[in-house]
Amino acid sequence: MKISSKALGEIEVAEQQCFEMPAGMIGFPRLRRYALVPFPDSDVPFFWWQSLEDASLCFVLIDPGLVFSDYQVSVSAEELAEIELSEPASATVLAVVTIPENPRDMTVNLMGPLVINRAAGKAAQLVLTDSRFTTKHRILPAEASDHACAHSQSE
């Protein structure tokens, strides 16, 4: 089906890319239908999470395991039932990325991951309490960002 997106324009998505979020995203409880769209460049580990109800609402997502190697999510039975997930290991877990003016300073919200049940077409955003995680975990180490910035200024 064709969907409209302020960020992506008009794009084609398959039905299996569309998900229902019974509680919506945090801050957007009334918007409950989203499409998971991979970035066109297959070398980039990001996805778009495009609202199907509001073309102007689109999030960038990443696999949190790529930025926090031992990232694990504890999901309650109630949360599993909400997205009809009987086997937690079969879930896809992604996290919301914030990209500021300087993309080298982008962060990922490890406290509010999305848990996606691809088989049922349902997803939920969790709120974690694990103190190892933050809502603004740097994707690039500060020294790599500083080095890249210094390198670009010397050119």
47 pLDDT band, cuts 50/70/90, is very high
* All structural domains of the chain with their residue ranges: 2-138
Angle subtended at Cα 133 by Cα 52 and Cα 118, rounded to the nearest 5 degrees: 35
Task: Assign domain 2-138 one CATH number from 3.20.20.220, 3.40.50.280, 2.30.290.10, 3.90.180.10.
Answer: 2.30.290.10
Residue 155 has pLDDT above 80, yes or no: no
In which band, very low, low, confident or very high, does the pLDDT at 152 lie, cut at 50, 70 and 90? Answer: very low
Number of Cβ within 10 Å of residue 24's Cβ equals 18
First to last CA, the chain: 46
pLDDT score recorded for residue 145: 47
Distance CA 99, CA 80 (A): 30
Q: pLDDT grade, residue 17 (50/70/90)? A: very high
Q: Which tens digits make up the pLDDT trace of 120-137?
A: 999 999 999 888 899 999
